[in-house]
Amino acid sequence: MASVLIVDDHAVVRGGLRQFLADTDDLEITAEAASGLDAIALVEKGDWSLVLLDIALPDVNGLEVLKQIKRLRPGLPVLIFSMFSEDEFAIPSLEAGASGFLNKDSPPNQILTAIRTVVGGARYLSPTLAEKLLAGVAPVGRKLAHETLSRRETEVLLMLSKGTSLTRIGEILHVSVKTVSTYRARIIEKLGVQSNAELTRYVIEHRLG
């Protein structure tokens, strides 16, 4: 059973989706948040298969919440579920790390398809947006963060994730500790994390080690 965190400030929307997904055998809303800050706090403490996120929130813009979620849990799929225009917000959402964009006016079967697609690890694009991407109207989605690392940065990342000290990494690579620190700083910036613990979690979530 895939667990879903829904982030929407309208109780009617949350209730409707909860009831809608209750009729499925593979999806369940296990947590709800009515604001961006509440959503971020839940993501820090819990674990879900998917976050269903609105853009229009009362405290923090949904796209900023998305960025915070991806910093905390890079491997956690986020599906934007909004009344805003796909033409205006779909591409920025994808560029910020979303796994898909879905308009709230979408028919039930499309909502289920989108959620199941994203839970399954793929990106969801509406037929309209997919056609635009294929036609070259919109840019193709960006690379995963770790795919931007150099070979040496990847080596350092994997050693850091195993708890290897900077001094020991320097000895293994025959470089100074200062150079290793520079590699670490670049890795942290590229992956959008804050600590070695988050680096380790990133490696585990993306099965890099």
Bridge partners of 29, per DSSP, are: 4
pLDDT at 96: 87
Average pLDDT rounded to a whole number, residues 155-174: 92
pLDDT at 126: 83
Residue 79, SS3?
strand
Instruction: Give the max Cα distance, the chain.
Output: 60
Residue 38, SS3?
helix
CATH second-level architecture of 145-205? Orthogonal Bundle (1.10)
Task: Determine the Cα–Cα distance for residues 209 and 194; give it in Å rounded to an integer.
Answer: 19
Q: In this predicted model, which residue has the larger pLDDT, 186 or 137? A: 186
Report pLDDT digits (tens) over 55-102: 989 898 899 999 999 999 999 999 999 988 787 788 888 888 999 999
Domain ranges of the chain: 2-134, 145-205
HSE of 95 in the Cβ direction (CA atoms, 13 Å)? 8
Task: Determine the Cα–Cα distance for residues 91 and 85; give it in Å rounded to an integer.
Answer: 11
The CATH number assigned to the domain with range 2-134 reads 3.40.50.2300
